[in-house]
Amino acid sequence: MNPRSPATEFGAAKKQFGQHFLADRGYIEKIVLAVDPRPGDRLVEIGPGQGAITFPLLDRHGELTVIEFDRDLIFPLTEAARAHGTLEVIHRDVLAVDFTALAHNGGPIRLVGNLPYNLSSPILFHALEHAAAIRDMTFMLQKEVVDRMAAGPGSKVYGRLSVMLQAYCEVVPLFDVPPGAFRPPPKVDSAVVRMVPKPAGEIGVRDPKRFEEVVRAAFGQRRKTLRNALSGVCDAALIETAGLRPDARAEQVEVADFVKLANLPA
């Protein structure tokens, strides 16, 4: 590890980018162990920040690609990385990065990152669009978001995010991270989660756009029954054909049943 203080090299976190830099070495090591990079892995880190996870991963793996939007972090990251391994920096908004193209020549990529909390859901859905090019994802997010990601039917936090992610990935919460592990400390607890995209043959979604439309409408107004929430998307007869009750609510419906409903001819 570089003995100099990251804070003096990189400067303060920027609120407009939702930056909270991980500083607790114990949790940093837990994340690196969770990723467990192996020879031949193609690691891509989203939002390396001051390099808290970047440099330990480089020490373990030797090479890493990072995606960083804050131009003020590019030079100090590049310079500090020289003592740890080979770092490729992509200076771009992660939502504009084509993960499929990134994986084109070297096989599936492994995504890692302490995601900015104000952009976590858009980043997750962006990654989902490229799931076929991704081997796995190990992300740190707001704990509330991780709870929603992994929630099952009947839970108060089971919703669109739960269904969309679980339809395409296995979602496994790993461990929580307290505010004091960051600089500056966020006002919420955080958690680390692993997402493993399912093989294409196990997903079963025939038309991703139709599936997204059905799920979005179903959870658009949570208090409504499926009959009312899906009005204009699916009629009651189609809901019954899928084996569901039109008077049920979206939070009662299994992921597999949403897939079944979306696959029926409208």
**In which residue are the tokens 């299994």 written?**
254
CA 261 to chain centre: 26
The residue among 114, 111, 67 whose CA lies nearest residue 87 is 67
Segments in the chain forming alpha helices (H) = 6-10, 25-35, 54-61, 71-81, 99-102, 120-129, 143-150, 160-168, 200-203, 208-218, 226-229, 236-241, 255-263
114 is in an annotated binding site: yes
Backbone φ and ψ for 34, nearest 5 degrees, come out as -65, -40
93 is in an annotated binding site: yes
**In which residue are the tokens 């990601």 written?**
149
68 is in an annotated binding site: yes
189 is in an annotated binding site: no
Enter the DSSP assignment of 18.
Answer: T
Task: Give CA–CA dist 168/191, Å, rounded.
Answer: 21
20 is in an annotated binding site: yes
244 is in an annotated binding site: no
Annotated binding site for S-adenosyl-L-methionine: 20, 22, 47, 68, 93, 114
Annotated binding site: 20, 22, 47, 68, 93, 114
